[in-house]
Structure 1
Amino acid sequence: MRLDIKHWKLLEAVGKYGSLGRAADAIGVTQSALSHRLAEAERRLGSPIFEREGRKLRPTPAGQSLVQAAQLLLPELSRAEKDFEQTAQNASHLVRIGVAAYSAYHWVPGFLASLPVKREKLQVDFVAAATREAENTLLTGATDLLISPVNIDNSAFSSVPLIDDELVLVTHPQHPFADKPWIIAEDLADVDYLTYSLDALPGFEYERFIKPSGIRLRHIQSVEMTDAIVEMIGVDLGISILSKWAITRSLTQKLVAAVPLTENGLPLTWHVLTRKSDAKHPAVQLTLDALCQWFNPR
């Protein structure tokens, strides 16, 4: 190999941040040192890896494959080190699970109790960062399993359908909309609408329900945690459109009400995603199988 591990770390960081300064901060070296390291890597390979595009560094066509390899390989190396340390210490295998878009963990106690192995042999952690940075947490190894309400299109991931769900309007139980058999987008024109993201996320309510109607929501408040949105709706401080499964507990406790979107509803399918490189990782596959069995018992 012509490149050392320090060069691969450089490739991953510059590819992620697009600048030597931010990459140097992330790695913990000076910008000058990282610049010399990049020059050394390019000398060893005999061609430029990055090219300037304004103030940013963009991989050359040849450099792009190196950056992608670094993004896949470094998390695997880090995982191998951690697995070795745990095995050496006779600790359990660690599998990290994240839930994308919604902070929905009402199912966790029952799932953990259902695991077919003893707790000392398999440790399951839950990663809150996946709510906002879902794809990145799986790509970098911060999560090993990602439960997502959209099927993320990434060639590095494998995906299995997990839950049949729907997007619903969530209101206070006494709200005038709570008794409607369904609502249409025009009903939302003058309401106090709560959203966890002002970005038009693909596959969610704005793209599939609000935008096609041509209406403009006049009163929008951004609340970046879905739990907080549900609490605000529970005291009649607004309404929102959320995953019905994600608010199961609040619906069961009748803290909020759910109203279908249109006469036919707005279906949503949750998936569980893993890295293809973990296809033979026993702890990840065992946990994946347990998740599928828990949500879809045969």
Structure 2
Amino acid sequence: MRLDIRHWEMLKAINESGTLRQAAYVLGITQSALSHRLAEAERRLGGLLFEREGRKLKETSAGRAMTQTANQIIPALQRAEFDFQQMADNKMTVVRFGVAAYSCYHWLPSFLNIMTKKEPGIKLELVASATQNPLQNLQDGTVDVVLAPGHLAVPGIDYIPVFQDELVLVTHLNHKLAAKSFIEATDLENQDYLTYSKSAQPGFEYERFIRPSGVVPHLVTVVEVTDAIIELIAAGFGVSILSRWAVHSAIKNESVAVIQVGKDGLDLGWSALVRESEPPQSAARTLSNQLAEWF
């Protein structure tokens, strides 16, 4: 390797700060020392990492790839040190956990009570960012286990079945569709439809229910937080097709109504995702098996 860890830390700091002055402050060194460090890195690599635009530094095309790598490896190293300290001090293994697609945690306290009794050596750390980019976060080590709906065949990822669910239409309690035993795709034609994703997810309602019918909802609005979608629906601002399990709390509180999608319904399986490289007895696989058993 041509660069030392201090150079990678520098790349991350400059990328996040935008100026040498601010990056030097973040790193706890003088601006002059950081300038020398940057010049040294560029000399070792044989090319420019940044170009000046006034007081700001702009990455070169080659430098951009380096800073992207720095933004991945520095947090990974920091997490490794943190995990080591946790395990050395408390004999605990930290497992970073996230829920894909839906931000729902109504079940988490009950599950943690069971985990604490059955696996006292495992500490769960919740990673909220896994909701939006679960596979990427899993592959780069940001998260160790992801509870995810649907199924995607992705190399390097193992899927451990956890429980069966269904996709349901979620509406306001007094919505005209709330009285139906099930909906057809044509029922969505005049509806303001809320979705949490900008792109169609394989195995979900658009691919299996909406697109085959050729129906287009009146208005489609992207709201990336599930809880916000539920609040908007409860206030009468549209409808959505979501996981029944994900909206469990809202159903229990009678703040929304749910209706079966299609005459035969739309099933949805949930799985625990782990890296294929995880050993059979690893804490990540232990947690995944406990999830399957608990659910």
What are the residue-to-residue correspondences of 1:172-183 with 2, within 5 Å?
A: 172-183=172-183
Aligned identity (percent) is 43
What are the residue-to-residue correspondences of 1:20-169 with 2, within 5 Å?
A: 80-90=80-90, 92-115=92-115, 117=117, 121-169=121-169
SS at match of 2:277: helix
SS at match of 2:160: strand
Shift in Å, 1:74:
9.0
Q: How far does the alpha carbon of each residue in 1:210-238 deviate from its partner, in whole angstroms, 9 at most, with x for none? A: 11111122222222111011111112221
Aligned to 1:25: none
Shift in Å, 1:77:
6.4
Aligned to 2:258: 258
Note if contact 2:139-2:275 (Cα within 8 Å) is conserved in structure 1.
Answer: yes
The 10-residue stretch of structure 1 (153-162 or 83-92) with the greater mean CA deviation from structure 2: 83-92
Q: How far does the alpha carbon of each residue in 1:116-142 deviate from its partner, in whole angstroms, 9 at most, with x for none? A: 547863221211111111111111111
RMSD (Å), alpha carbons: 4.2
Distance 2:196 2:88 in 1: 43
Q: How far does the alpha carbon of each residue in 1:2-42 deviate from its partner, in whole angstroms, 9 at most, with x for none? A: 99879999xxxxxxxxxxx9xxxxxx99xxxxxxxxxxxxx
Distance 1:7 1:292 in 2: 43
What are the residue-to-residue correspondences of 1:240-255 with 2, within 5 Å?
A: 240-255=240-255
Aligned to 2:55: none
The 10-residue stretch of structure 1 (206-215 or 278-287) with the greater mean CA deviation from structure 2: 278-287
Note if contact 1:160-1:272 (Cα within 8 Å) is conserved in structure 2.
Answer: yes
Distance 2:128 2:76 in 1: 21
Gaps of 5+ in 2: 10-17, 19-25, 28-59, 62-69
Q: Which one has the largest radius of gyration?
A: 2
Q: How far does the alpha carbon of each residue in 1:109-164 deviate from its partner, in whole angstroms, 9 at most, with x for none? A: 11001115478632212111111111111111111110111223322211111121
Note if contact 1:93-1:283 (Cα within 8 Å) is conserved in structure 2.
Answer: yes
Note if contact 1:93-1:123 (Cα within 8 Å) is conserved in structure 2.
Answer: yes
Shift in Å, 1:82:
3.6
1:207 matched to 2:225: no
Instruction: Report the residue type matching 1:242 in the other structure.
Output: L
Note if contact 1:75-1:140 (Cα within 8 Å) is conserved in structure 2.
Answer: no
Structure 1 pair 119–271 and aligned structure 2 pair: CA distance change class (3 A):
closer
Distance 1:120 1:161 in 2: 23
Instruction: Report the residue type matching 1:134 in the other structure.
Output: P
1:231 matched to 2:235: no
Shift in Å, 1:183:
0.6
Note if contact 1:178-1:258 (Cα within 8 Å) is conserved in structure 2.
Answer: yes
Shift in Å, 1:190:
0.7
Distance 1:78 1:139 in 2: 17
SS at match of 1:227: helix
SS at match of 1:279: coil
SS at match of 1:268: strand
Query: TM-score, length-normalised on structure 2?
Result: 0.73
Gaps of 5+ in 1: 10-20, 22-27, 30-56, 59-69
Note if contact 2:184-2:261 (Cα within 8 Å) is conserved in structure 1.
Answer: yes
SS at match of 2:165: strand
Note if contact 1:100-1:147 (Cα within 8 Å) is conserved in structure 2.
Answer: yes
Instruction: Report the residue type matching 1:200 in the other structure.
Output: S
Aligned to 2:293: 293
Instruction: Report the residue type matching 1:202 in the other structure.
Output: Q
SS at match of 1:173: coil
Distance 1:5 1:126 in 2: 28
Instruction: Report the residue type matching 2:266 in the other structure.
Output: L
Q: How far does the alpha carbon of each residue in 1:161-218 deviate from its partner, in whole angstroms, 9 at most, with x for none? A: 1121111100112111111111111111111211112x33232211111111111222
Aligned residues: 284
Structure 1 pair 216–181 and aligned structure 2 pair: CA distance change class (3 A):
same
Distance 2:75 2:280 in 1: 16
